[in-house]
Amino acid sequence: MSNNEPKPVSWNPQSGRSTSPLLQLTLIRFREFLREPEAVFWTFIFPLLLAGGLGLAFRSRPADVAKVGILTSAPAAETIRAALAGDSTLQLVSLDDTAAATALRIGTVALVVVAQDAQRVEYRFDRAREEARTARLMVDEALQRSHGRKDAVAVTESLISERGSRYIDFVLPGLLAMNLMGSGMWGIGFSIVDARRKKLLKRFVATPMRRYHYLASFLVMRLGLMVIEVTVIASFGYFAFGVPMRGSLVAFGVACLLGALVFGSLGLLVASRARTIEAASGLMNLLMLPMWVASGVFFSAGNFPDAVQPIIQALPLTAVVDSVRGIMIQGLGWAQLLPEFAIVTTWLVLSFGVALRFFRWR
């Protein structure tokens, strides 16, 4: 009832902090992350699924079999089919006109043979596709031999299949670096923009909280998660596919640490001004998309023209991918890693400095 005298607050304020604010902030970071099942999935499970999928799709097969279509409407289809049937490296499929066109377009056959007569054949294939060029050589070889061509030079083959030269060996370090980028930028950027949008940042600023504690808590969390992410992905590669670790573990640790820090700082930079998730999202994609494509995660960055190479080599993801891959697969030493580490450190200092300078706290 309102005519009851309100009871004064009786408590005994203690001097001294209960716990360290940096510890509390960091604990909150980890709790927020671990209580978000989606975040856990994208950070830990997704890269494994991707690596597993790519490892299976591109596993080394004993001998490559080329899938070749025979156009049934061509006059000499059966003759040519009989001539090629003896070759075990070719898998032949009979196709009518529309089926042949479709199969070429979606890549279920690498090449289609159109046999006008026993002496004249036409190859239909896409020159830009590697397996199509290979299929053309294999079909032509088989066809010419069956018609009596003899080798002018005697050749012997000695086959090697070395760990470290397979696609999974190439792509796994790339995925590892890409994961450091994704979780660093999204993880930090989104949390900060979200806190700003919810006026939580402003609420923190209204307390004696040290601002660098707040930012540092994100980096501490990133480093903690980085250790887990990197361990999970690298051991998956090692145990499931035998992806080697030829360089020193210390150098590998430093490369991952720098990677986690540089992408954390870039996340901070993206989040330093943005007021909405949408704005931050757009900026993230603008920064990350070119790197996904150009930095050599899935295929060598060397495929791009020489004119843009200086730009590609200066990208932070390129430097992280190259250093991680160099250490794991080539066993590069410190001296060889210096240029990559220098690039990453420059990005780290620049982005962190600019982010701190322009950070919007309110």
Residues that bind other proteins (CB under 8 A): 2, 5-21, 23-25, 27-28, 31-32, 35-36, 195, 198-200, 202-209, 362
Least gap, CB of 172 to other proteins (angstroms): 32
Q: For residue 144, what are the contacts with CB-CB under 8 A and spacing of at least 6? A: none
- Taking the least distance from each CB to other proteins, the nearer of 163 and 203 is 203
- Taking the least distance from each CB to other proteins, the nearer of 43 and 323 is 43
Token output for 153: 């030079």
Least gap, CB of 96 to other proteins (angstroms): 59
Asked if residues 320 and 303 have their Cβ atoms less than 8 Å apart, the reply is no
Least gap, CB of 218 to other proteins (angstroms): 14
Least gap, CB of 211 to other proteins (angstroms): 11
Query: In this structure, what are the phi and psi dihedrals at residue 69, rounded to the nearest 5 degrees?
Result: -95, 140
- Taking the least distance from each CB to other proteins, the nearer of 59 and 203 is 203
- Taking the least distance from each CB to other proteins, the nearer of 17 and 61 is 17
Least gap, CB of 35 to other proteins (angstroms): 4
Rounded distance between C-alpha atoms, residue 309 and residue 294, angstroms: 9
Least gap, CB of 44 to other proteins (angstroms): 18
- Taking the least distance from each CB to other proteins, the nearer of 2 and 88 is 2
Asked if residues 337 and 251 have their Cβ atoms less than 8 Å apart, the reply is yes
- Nearest partner of 347 among 307, 291, 308, judged by Cα: 291
Rounded distance between C-alpha atoms, residue 194 and residue 279, angstroms: 11
Rounded distance between C-alpha atoms, residue 276 and residue 231, angstroms: 33
DSSP three-state, residue 25: helix
- Taking the least distance from each CB to other proteins, the nearer of 170 and 359 is 359
Least gap, CB of 195 to other proteins (angstroms): 8
Least gap, CB of 41 to other proteins (angstroms): 16
- Nearest partner of 120 among 151, 75, 153, judged by Cα: 75
Which amino acid type is present at position 203?
Answer: R
Asked if residues 131 and 58 have their Cβ atoms less than 8 Å apart, the reply is no
- Taking the least distance from each CB to other proteins, the nearer of 43 and 351 is 43
Token output for 159: 């086959």
Rounded distance between C-alpha atoms, residue 160 and residue 50, angstroms: 27
- Taking the least distance from each CB to other proteins, the nearer of 49 and 200 is 200
Rounded distance between C-alpha atoms, residue 328 and residue 343, angstroms: 19
